[in-house]
Every structure is written in C-alpha cells, then in structure tokens.
Structure 1
Amino acid sequence: FIRGDDFAIFVSADISPFKGLDLRPIFSYAELLGNTNTSTRQSRGGLASSSAASPGAFPYQGFTTTNAVGSAGAAATPGQPNLTVVPGLGTAVEHRYTVGLDAKWTAGPFYLDPTVFYQWGTRSFTPPSTVQTSTCANVGCTALVAVPSGFRGTTATTTSLQKQDLSSWLLDVTGGWRAGPLLLEGRGSYTTGNKATSDVRDARQTARFFQPISTDAQFWAGWAEIQALGVDYFNLITGADGTRGLSPPFAIGYDKYGLKRVGVRASYALTPAFTVRGSVMQSWTDTGVDTNGIKTGSNGIIPSAVGRAAHSGSTNLGTELDAGITWRFAPGLTFDLGGGYMWVGDAYKAALSQASPALSPANVNGVSTSIFRPENDPKDVTTVAARVRYSF
C-alpha cells in the first residue's frame, strides 16, 4: 500500500439548553497523505483517488501507481515490480476541516432533526498531463481521443504537485409526527457540487463537493431500497465498476455534482408486532451532470471535454417508490420484506460506461477503452428483498 499515516480527529459537545432541545456542535480535522481509503476520498470528476489508476493522482514519497505484476508499468520500476516511482515528485497532502451543528427538537408528537456542516481545506495532487475526451457531442458516442490537458503544473508529458482549495456545504433536515400507531416523516438533503464546466482535475478550480470521512453506507439508510441501504445489503446502487464516488450512500453526492433530495415515508403498526410502511424519494444533483462524459471505476465521470467546453445535461437522478413490512414473529426474530421501483433519471446517462478495469490493460489515466459500453439509455430498476434477523 502506498499510503501515509492518515488520521482524523473529532471534537463535539452535547448541550441541552431546555427540555426538548439537544444541540451538538461538531468539529473534525483530517490529514491525508497520498492515497487513502475510498470511504474517505472517492474518485470524482475524472480525478482518480486510487493507486490502481495510471497515473495515480495522489503520490506518496514519489510512489504513484500500483501496477499489475508483469505489466509494462511494472517493468519500468527496477527492484519494485509493482510500483511506479517518479523521483522528486513528493507527497500529496490533504488538510480537511469540517465544522457544523447537529440538533434535535421534540415537542409532543413532533420532532425535527436539522444538521448543517461546512467543509474547507486544501489538497495537493498531480493533474493529468493528458486526458481522454469523446470526439462527438452525442450521448452514446463511442469515439475517444487523448488530448493535452493544459492544466496548471503540466506539460505534454510531465506533471507536478498542485494545491487545490476545498469548500462545500451539507444541509440535512428530518421531521416527523406521530399519532398512535401512525408515523409520518419527511426529509430533505442538500450538498453543493461543481458545475460540469468546472474541471476539478485542474487545481485552479475549487472542489465544491462534500467529502465524508466515512458513511458506512448509512446516508439515508431506511428511506429507500435502491438509492439507500434497505432490507437488501447487497444490491445498493453504485456507479461504474462499483465506484463509490457515483454512489450517494457513500459519497453524499453524485460524482462532483452534489445532491438535492427530498423524501417522505409513513409507517403504521397494525399490531405491536406487525408494521407496514411506504416511502417515496426524489433525487437531483446540485448542478447539471456531463451526460456526454465517460463513467469509469477508477476516475468517476471523466468530462466529455476540458474546461468550459464540457457538456452540462440533466440534474434528475430519479424517483423511487418503496413499500414493505416488518413482522416480529417471535422473541428475537424479525422478518422484513421490502420492494421498490426507481424511475431512473437522465442524469445517469453517459456517453460510455466502464465495466471492470481489471479485465484489460489500462490506457490513459487508468481508463480501459476496450471494455466500454454506451450508456445513453439507463433502465429503470426493480427490487424485492426479504430478510430474517435474529437478535440476542
């Protein structure tokens, strides 16, 4: 692993100024050296966060990429057959600060849980000297070409560490009302994002997407079966090749484009042991997605063009409708059944989408062109899942 000694600290306090109101101010600081866990930094906007990408964007002491043994890249590093080393390149360092307030207010049958965070800091990385773009302006285009990036700190063949500013917001509000066996709840979330024309591979652009230390896929858990963690733990919606930057439960956003989401749910306890529930959720990105871009497992969504020439398309991620039951049929035993349907929005479109980068040799920026498929018509999603849990 070509990683440094990363760490994060959290400071919080619990304050109850009066009955029914709880306040928790929170501050966190993270220092990341080189590559880090994908729960903490996801590949977004074409910038690879993984050491499996070639070239790696976050070097540690000059080590940039973990190559497959026997590959051309491996042969280029005598004595270190699975590492690419660039002498004098140094270490990419990220300083990430987050401050905010988590609150809970209850008054009789009502409750309200607002949360707000502001995140800022800096990070350094090596911008790519060349990038891949599509050569036509149509969604579903299959032609790719490598062009010089022109990013700060690059030439046609070299790159150097550059510093980028971080600045983002997260707002999340949940509220509910209970009347006997009936519980009605609503929730809304907003995270900032970068425009399609704001190329985050160029350090001159501020990264405006929120980055969690880790969500453990718990963001909006219990509110949906497809776009969030529900009854089924295995089929959570993810991006190309399972990249977490395209999975809102992990990234709290969609690639670099942020997230806007609203949802309502209702549950009714027919008996103390048997509850029925239903929910509906609508999700958008904060800014228009480059739907002519290229979805990859290692780089997130690679823009269709460099800078202001990039395409800005839909913000609609889709609408999801869910229903389910919970039956506590014996002491310690619970049966859950849930089903959902998602009308997938046009923001999930892309010119091309990658299956698995391990299936063929890597090309520019770790992108393998031989295993791409057009993704100009994403299909709706249906799921049904059942689970029995035993607790003791």
Structure 2
Amino acid sequence: MEQKAIIVGANINNQEDFTNSMEELKDLVYACNIDVIAKTTQQLNQVNKAYYLGKGKIEELLELVHETDVDMVIFNDELSSTQIRNLEEILQCKLIDRTGIILEIFAKRAKTKEAQMQVEIAKLQYMLPRLIGAGKDLSRQSSGYGFRNKGKGETKLELDRRKIKNRMSELSKELEALVDRRKNQRKKRKRTEIPVIALVGYTNAGKSTIMNEMVELYNPSANKKVFEKDMLFATLETSVRCINLTDNKKFLLTDTVGFISKLPHQLVKAFRSTLEEVREADMLIHVIDYSNPNYKQQIEVTKETLKELGADRIPTIYAFNKTDLVHDEIFKVEENSIYISAKNKTGINELVSEICKKVFTQYVNCNMIIPYDKGSVLSYFEDNANINSTEYKFNGVFISMECKKADCERYKQYAISI
C-alpha cells in the first residue's frame, strides 16, 4: 500500500446497515491501494452541516491524524463544499468522501473511450459544486473592455467553473455520438427478434463469471470471454454476447456495471446511456453473492437502483451465486430463484433452462412441406428452428419442428396438419 488513511463514518439514527457500510468503505479504499490504519465513528441524530461530525469528535480525529501521520481522511458519506472547507482548515490533510473514492476506482478501471468519457463527466459534475469560493489567493483577472458591469473581471473560481462546464459540454457531444451508435445497435437487435437478457446486481456478485461460463458452455469456439476478477467494479463496459443454444434458439446476454450502496448519482447519470441496455432488456438476471452476509441489503440496493433507472418492472430471475461458499442450508429467498456456483460450473444449465421457459414463449410446434425449389426457406428453418424430424416426399421436404409463431405465420402456405 502506497498511502495510509483513516476512515470516518457518522451513524445517523442507528442505521441498520452502518457496520456493513463501513466495511464496504474499507474495501473501496483497499481497491485504491490505500491502507486503512484506523477507523472512527460517531452516533448522531443528524449530520453536522458544517463539520459532518460533532466538534468533540473532530478534535479526537485531529489527534488521531497527528498520532498516525496519515496521508488522508476518507469519509463514508458525500461531503458538501462547506464541510470540506471547514474540515480541511482543522485537519490540514487531504480529504476524500465515499463518492470521491468510488469515482477514483471507476477512473482506474475504465478502459474503453466511452467508459473513460462517462467517468470524466461524472468527476466534473462532482467537482463543480465543490470548487472552494474566491479566497484571498485567487487573483482577479482582467476582463477586457466593452462589456457593461464587467470592470472587476472574473475570479479564478469563475474561470475554473467555466472551464469545467466547457469540458463537460465537449464530452457530452462526443458521448452523444457513441450513444446514437448504441441506439442503432439496439434497433438492429430488435429487428432480429432475438431476446436480450441483462445481467444486473451488486458489484463483485459474479455477473462476468456467469457470462463467461455461458459462453464457454454454448459457444466454446467463439473465444469471447469478458474480463473477470474478484474485485469491486471489475466491469465498467457493457459487453454483449450471443448465446447459441443446441435447439437453434439464441439470446443476447449483456454484462453491465455493478451497483453499490450509495452509488453516486453523478455516475448513474453519466452511465445512463450504458445502463439503457438494462432498461431495454426483455429479462433481467439479478445476480446475488449468496455467500455475502449482507446479501439481503445488496438485493434491496440493486432493486432501488433498477427503480431509479426505470427497469424495475422487467421480468427477473434471481441467480443466487457462490453457493460453493455457503455451508448453511439454502432457503428460497425470492420467487423465480436459481441457486448456482458459476466458479464451480454448477447450476448454469438450470439457469439457461429457466431463461428459455420465460423468454421463448412465442414458439409453436409446426409441420411443413417445403417445395424442393424453395431451398432458401428450408435453409432458414435449419438455422432458426428446432427441427425434430425430416422426411423427403415426392412434392418436397417434410419437416416437423418447433419454431417462432411469427415464422409459422409467415410461411403458413407450406404448413400442413397431421
């Protein structure tokens, strides 16, 4: 670890998940290669608007900073510009809040141009209201002439704000072009009528591992695995893979960015174009780390985030993952639940079977005789239907199959009843 930090939290009205939240903050800090060497907390009825904590606790924190010689103090909530200014004056060291540490992780993990732009926009949105006011060290800038009421010029603060807004505007325009491209990709997918399944859930629940296991199981030659690692926010880019099943059914599987408690609204807003993939999905696979003692709270956080995205009414299967790490008896927590261990490759077939039951409802059994001069129609069904039997008749090829209802209607002139 390169740097040392103290983590600080205010427990407002005995929050039920406060201890878990502080542990999660510790994990977030470790993810930034910062060593947590001390922790301090305070029970409060409400956050101190000027100092976050009470003045007595601030004095204790100042002593702790001096004793431990830390590089920074990291707070479990988002701090206002007033709180930052007041705390910096007292503590005389670097301050970071929970939002700042999450933004830092996102900045480190972002690999694609789109993810990098989204993170930069989020960081600028976060910085803008936190630019400290025009202090004595901010020199006045000459404003030129010819503009009424501009004689005093602009402060450095105003210039910084303008630079940030201009940069945000530039990034938003660039991002819009990528958003349009993503929209066009979604339109093309809809025209193919292939169902879209989105993996959602808390960060590090195992979404990418599940995707990779499905790819390996059903598309072993595709060599299209996504990055996976046992760490927070390993995935920031949306990845889409086509899962081709043995009966000629197929669906698109989307891996998305993970959620977390107190996910900064700047990130939700900046990543909205990426998260549109979730809202446009035909079904969600809500992946849960069943081995985590706080999995129930994580389920609720994910549900709240999906509601914020307008994706809370999409049909959902709950995939309780990492059952290999659970030694207690498994109890069914949610309806439509599947219990799996993606790492041990168990339960994936059951999960796919459940997906098929719910998304391939518009399939019918159909019998047709395809004339010999309509080879393209036969070829279409060979690629897009589950053909149970084939027989060569004098007037064409007889096929008995399971196919899309729409395809049965489209080629009904060849349909026969037996």
Q: TM-score per shorter chain, which class?
A: under 0.3
The structure where strand makes up a greater share of residues is: 1
The structure where helix makes up a greater share of residues is: 2
TM-score where L is the length of structure 1: 0.22
TM-score where L is the length of structure 2: 0.21
Tell me: higher relative CO, structure 1 or 2? Use CA pairs within 8 A at least 6 residues apart.
1
